[in-house]
Structure 1
Amino acid sequence: MRVLPYLGLAPFAFYVLLFLAVPTILALGSGFFNKDGSFTLDNVAALGDPVILNTFFSSFWISALTAVVGAVVGALVCYALIDTRAGGRLRLIIESASSVLAQFGGVMLAFAFIATIGVQGLVTVFLQTNLGINIYADGVWLYQLPGLILPYIYFQIPLMIITFMPALDGLKPQWAEANATLGGSTFTYWRKIGAPVLAPAFFGSLLLLFANAFSAYATAAALISQGSQIVPLQIRAALVSETLLGRENLAGALALGMIIVMVVVMTAYSLLQARTTRWQR
């Protein structure tokens, strides 16, 4: 009879096993075998190749940059909303919009930016025609690695809002009242109470944003058609390339590198979230 309560989890467990666990195991396992099925470390050794290392570095810096910008701007938006009513219209509109925009990515987001600030985009043509400003005077940056910064920030800020706002809502009014009673200023409250309490939640959300950008693929694939400047695009190139002699399963090794990074980041995120929940109870 004790098994019955767990039967409801069976569909979800089946989904996780079939669509998450099995593909992950197959992807990781393929990195240790060659095209003949023999065990090899050549694919894993390729992670030390300068080209691969440069790809990981590119993924790191663009993920870190967009995560920091998204975290800071999103936190400021949350701070601006701290005095609004939780169930108020303004809060609901912003939270609803953030929930939608945080999931607005892939080809749709790439098309939106191409149509807006692409070479022949609406804003690009308007600036060049009416103001004489050519935003592509130094090159077509939107279709290169720097062009991913704006689209990534576009969905990073809403994600920060929906993940960090609950932490701000968890600040107890009694703490501010106690600070005021003891003669503390607003600056003192945020320096000695608010900031230390919110720090784990902020850095946890920052890590979540980093992981979100590091694993993003569809938007980058739609914008960057030439080259493999980030790890997800390098995996795509490894899967479709016919010139990787002796390293036909390099994609599995690249996936292993990505999973290691994601495990480290998400473990740190879980630890910070566990610390955050202590004072939210």
Structure 2
Amino acid sequence: MTGSLMAAAAPRTASGKRRRRAPAWLAAVPLLAFTAIAFGVPAVAMLGGALTVDDPATGVSSYGTENLTASLQGAYLTALLGSVKLSATAAGLAALLGLPLAQAVVSSGSRALREAVLTASGVLANFGGVPLAFAFVATLGNSGVLTRHLGLAEQGWSLYSFWGLVLVYLYFLIPLMVLTITPALDGLRTQWREAARNNGATGLQYWRHVALPVLLPSLLGGLVLLFGSAFAAYATAAAMVGSAVPLVTLQISDAISGNVLVGQENVALALSLDMVVIAGLVMAVYLPLQRRSSRWLA
């Protein structure tokens, strides 16, 4: 009786009023404020600039969709489709190569090997830009070490092409795939393999009917993540191929700097808005896949 009275009186203050707890969502206010400032303000500015049309004769600004229309025509559309094609190709190859590599590391049972591979993957997944472009130019460029020693130039090899850029992108996409898919591979239960073996299934049948269906959401989610990473890459392509391969990030840079036409800054904002829309669609696919895979592998 005395304990219950003390428990009932504990939440009350000295004035007899019950103490009110702060709502849980207040803890997220700093994060929400940072997100609104860091992402919301640039997004609104981008949208406003993309819809702003400047009259070259009078200099009067008005709102319209001319910039968005221009961003989906001619060379701009070619660059946008080129980025999608490059990103999809590089992401697909990285997923095909990264999955067996991650499985080999997981099934090895060596903790040292696992830590070494994951640490190296974390470093290589973030190694890009001008240093990566320089490394490949020095190795596989027109006068690169391997190009001269293996006679690749005589065989028609060119680093400054679509497939050369795909090869460079694989350098950081494959490690990213290893980092993405390794937790999903860890979630595969050994009991599933044993049950499949006890029922007469071969290793190939186990992967076809058990492992891959369970891993499919994670695989597709990793593929989407690789696509987004390749789609947003700029510095590596700019330093290596320039305008030889049409990419939307390079078109944005040219429009801002006025390399092609002066006064195309708003078209660059429209191209950036196109990229945001595509990235939003990518995330809309990725998040449900991530939630679905977590239910199986939790």
TM-score by length of 1: 0.88
Q: Which residue of 1 aligns with 2:10?
A: none
Q: What is the identity, as a one-letter code, of the residue corresponding to 2:128?
A: G
Residue 46 of structure 2 corresponds to residue 27 of structure 1: yes
Determine which of 213, 226, 235 is the counterpart of 2:252.
235
Q: Which residue of 2 aligns with 1:184?
A: 201
Does the CA contact (< 8 Å) of 1:46 and 1:250 recur in 2? yes
Q: Which residue of 2 aligns with 1:257?
A: 274
Q: What is the identity, as a one-letter code, of the residue corresponding to 2:141?
A: G
Q: Which residue of 2 aligns with 1:73?
A: 97
- Distance, in Å, in 2 between the alignment partners of 1:91 and 1:54 is 42
Q: How does 1:1-281 map to 2 (within 5 A)?
A: 1-2=21-22, 6-7=26-27, 10=30, 12-35=31-54, 36-85=60-109, 88-127=111-150, 133-135=151-153, 138=156, 141-226=158-243, 229-241=246-258, 244=261, 247-281=264-298
Q: Deviations over 1:92-121 (max 9, x none)?
A: 100110010000001111111112112222
| Structure 1 residues 242 and 42: CA distance shift in structure 2, 3 A | farther
What is the deviation of 1:231?
A: 0.6
| Structure 1 residues 244 and 38: CA distance shift in structure 2, 3 A | farther
Highest RCO, 1 vs 2 (Cα 8 Å, sep ≥ 6): 1
TM-score by length of 2: 0.84
Does the CA contact (< 8 Å) of 1:31 and 1:250 recur in 2? yes
- Distance, in Å, in 1 between the alignment partners of 2:284 and 2:200 is 40
Q: What is the identity, as a one-letter code, of the residue corresponding to 1:197?
A: V
Does the CA contact (< 8 Å) of 2:254 and 2:260 recur in 1? no
What is the deviation of 1:25?
A: 2.0
- Distance, in Å, in 2 between the alignment partners of 1:125 and 1:208 is 36
Structure 2: tracts of 5 or more residues without a match:
1-20, 55-59
What is the deviation of 1:219?
A: 0.7
The sequence identity of aligned pairs, in percent, is 38
Structure 1: tracts of 5 or more residues without a match:
128-132
- Distance, in Å, in 1 between the alignment partners of 2:80 and 2:92 is 18
Does the CA contact (< 8 Å) of 1:34 and 1:246 recur in 2? no
Q: Deviations over 1:202-239 (max 9, x none)?
A: 11111111111111111111112345710111111111
What is the deviation of 1:81?
A: 2.1
Aligned residues: 273
What is the deviation of 1:27?
A: 1.6
Does the CA contact (< 8 Å) of 1:145 and 1:229 recur in 2? no
